[in-house]
Amino acid sequence: MVGNSALALVAALALSEATWFPKAPSKGWNPISGSSLCKCAPGDHCWPSQRQWASLNRTVNGNLLAGVPVAESCYPGNAYNKAQCAFIDQNWSNATFQANQPNGLSYPIENSCPPVNVTAGQKATGKCTLGDNSVYIVRATCPEDVQHVVQFAKEHKIRLVVKDTGHDLLGRSNGANSLEIWIRYLRTGVEFHQSYNSNRWSGSAFTIGGGYTWADLYPLAKQHNVVVVGGGTPSVSCLGGWMQGGGHGPASREFGLGADQVLEAKVVTADARLITASPHENQDILFAVRGGGPAAYGVVVETTIKAHPMVSVQVQHLAIAPLTNDTNPLLDVVAVLYHDFPDLNDAGYAGYGSWSINQPAPLFASFTSGYVHGFYMMNRTHAEAETAFEPTLGKLQALNGTQLFVSVSYVDYPDYWSFYNTESGVEPAVGVSAALGSRLFDRDSVQRNPAGLRHMIGVIAGAPEEYTSNNFELVSGGQVFKDATDRFSGVLPAWRKAHFNSIVARGWASGSTEAVMTAVHNDITYNKAAAMEAQAPGTGVYMNEADRLDPKWETNFYGTNYPKLRAIKELHDPTGVFYCPTCVGSDMWKENDDGRLCRL
């Protein structure tokens, strides 16, 4: 419904001969001349005329959309529609709903037009503005559309945004005063190769043409009895920021990171050329898009990825909760588990989990404080899974029944897709804002100084009233370590020695003041994430699940690869056609308080 109203609006504008400008952002802004070092914005002399926008619309077959806030129908004005507002509010936390909106975002940084629960009688407060969302969106349906938009943005000095599903935590899928390339509907097909013969791979493969999600690809992989390395959340795009930022999933330990799966890619570059990046041509672009960050070197419109033989999976479920109001025993065992993660990983375990000393919803059963994980081994026996965990379980059982409740169980799955569809593949709620920080941990960082590790656990646990959530991802080791020799990998080098990623997050109540949100962000950046960095110096973070305000993002996100990636960026995009926050080359730009993007 929202997309149709936007399409109708831009169609009407295309027929008009009058000059038209979208409303400027509500923040204070001033028109500038075309000779400025800033990107052009509505109202500037360099902003395209209505005729030029209409021409672009014809070039992309009528797929130019005027950007509107997703929840615009909840606010007084011509767009107000109570029924549509109720529908939007009911679906706001649904990832697929957000992905289907031209300006939809799973995790908005600044929600300048929140939904309203009109069903419960809630009234809209404040104004609904476009905020940091795109002014225009092109719903690309073919690589040529992408080429046209890149050329248009380059010629008119417009900030360019690339978005597929909008499943992003760092504000890289939107931008004030921008023109968005929306590749969700660029779908030219998926092809399975039973045998993909090259110098680097002789197994099976898939060629993915456009904005497909893992929900689209996984059934095809199951049909062909193969495993692909994809996201744990099926609504994530196959070739967007997940892959280009490294990409981990349930099969990563066994088969490598998402970026390591890419055999070749087709990319629209800053000069609007469609190129093939492979080990034989445009090798620097291949290196960059295989883990060197998204939306900096070009728009990836097709990839060919590895497919792997089927595996069986043995799963272990562990749940721990304190039996008294004292949470220190819980934090003690979290420290024990973090200490043992490298050993478990080396033994073949991988998996995901979370812990908290207090959160609004129960972690399991009725416990709002505790620890849970789902770990698994592939192509091992049930007995091997139990034996590998025995040393750690012995440490936990010492407190079982006295200070802690400890439950452990095992489930065997005959194939990967039975495991994935039962244990993973769940869509989490989206549409919320939060602050988070993360860190990759190698063996030394959790086993060198146990007292320091326990102190860090206490810091990132936070106070009960903070409702701090901690998540961990034991997704490295195995093939991820072996792929350290891949000379075409742009992945953060720390992945090649880190066993797991730990994430700490805090949210805030809807309608919180700027001061409250800033305080939460500062706590995450300068207290909790800083404590993790102090315990694991010199590693880094997984850029797709990181603190967007990290003051050392160049080092933490990219490590020693940054100079090389920056050189590739400058070679292929010297004028900065592509930009997103914390992406390679973004240190050459500044986003002003009024939303303007200006060259430093």
Query: Whole domain around residue 497: which residue ranges?
Result: 329-372+432-551
Amino acid symbol at 265: A
What average pLDDT does range 28-54 have in this prediction?
80
pLDDT band at residue 96 using 50, 70 and 90 as cut-offs: very high
> Of the residues 551, 566, 587, which one is the last residue of a structural domain?
551
pLDDT digits (tens, 9 = 90+) for 527-561: 999 999 999 999 999 999 999 999 999 999 999 99
What average pLDDT does range 172-193 have in this prediction?
98
pLDDT at 6: 32
Instruction: Please indicate, yes or no, if residue 25 is contained in any of the structural domains.
Output: yes
pLDDT at 19: 29
pLDDT at 273: 99
Instruction: Please indicate, yes or no, if residue 594 is contained in any of the structural domains.
Output: no
pLDDT at 36: 73
pLDDT at 126: 87
- Of 160, 123, 142, 159, give the one whose Cα is nearest residue 59: 142
pTM above 0.85, yes or no: yes
Sole residue written with tokens 């897709």: 417
Amino acid symbol at 224: H
pLDDT at 23: 39
DSSP 468-513: -EEEEEE--STHHHHGGG-TT--S-GGGGTEEEEEEEEEE--TT--
pLDDT band at residue 29 using 50, 70 and 90 as cut-offs: very low
pLDDT at 509: 83
pLDDT band at residue 120 using 50, 70 and 90 as cut-offs: very high
Instruction: Please indicate, yes or no, if residue 510 is contained in any of the structural domains.
Output: yes
Instruction: Please indicate, yes or no, if residue 410 is contained in any of the structural domains.
Output: no
| Number of domains, the chain | 2
Angle between helices 50-59 and 143-156 (to 10 degrees): 160
Are the C-beta atoms of residues 109 and 548 closer than 8 Å to each other?
Answer: yes
Sole residue written with tokens 């995450």: 524
pLDDT at 10 over 60: no
Instruction: Please indicate, yes or no, if residue 224 is contained in any of the structural domains.
Output: no
Name 483's Cβ contacts closer than 8 Å, sequence gap at least 6: 256, 257, 260, 489, 496
Instruction: Please indicate, yes or no, if residue 258 is contained in any of the structural domains.
Output: no
pLDDT at 314 over 80: yes
pLDDT digits (tens, 9 = 90+) for 202-218: 999 999 999 999 999 99
Query: What is the residue-averaged pLDDT of the chain?
Result: 93
**CA 456: distance to chain centroid?**
25
What average pLDDT does range 220-241 have in this prediction?
97
- φ/ψ (deg, to 5) at 309: -60, 155
Instruction: Please indicate, yes or no, if residue 599 is contained in any of the structural domains.
Output: no
What average pLDDT does range 302-327 have in this prediction?
98
Instruction: Please indicate, yes or no, if residue 31 is contained in any of the structural domains.
Output: yes
- Return the percentage of the chain with pLDDT > 70, whole number: 94
> Of the residues 142, 157, 182, which one is the last residue of a structural domain?
182
What average pLDDT does range 456-461 have in this prediction?
99
Strand 313-322 and strand 370-378: pairing?
Answer: antiparallel
pLDDT band at residue 20 using 50, 70 and 90 as cut-offs: very low
Question: What is the chain's alpha carbon radius of gyration, rounded to the nearest angstrom?
Answer: 24
Are the C-beta atoms of residues 249 and 472 closer than 8 Å to each other?
Answer: no
Q: What is the domain-level CATH number for residue 528? A: 3.40.462.20
CA angle 53–56–60, rounded 5-degree value = 140
> Of the residues 536, 551, 566, which one is the last residue of a structural domain?
551
Quote the CA–CA distance of 123 and 183 in Å, as a whole number.
35
What average pLDDT does range 14-28 have in this prediction?
34
- With H, G, I as helix, E, B as strand and everything else as coil, classify residue 220: helix
pLDDT at 222 over 50: yes
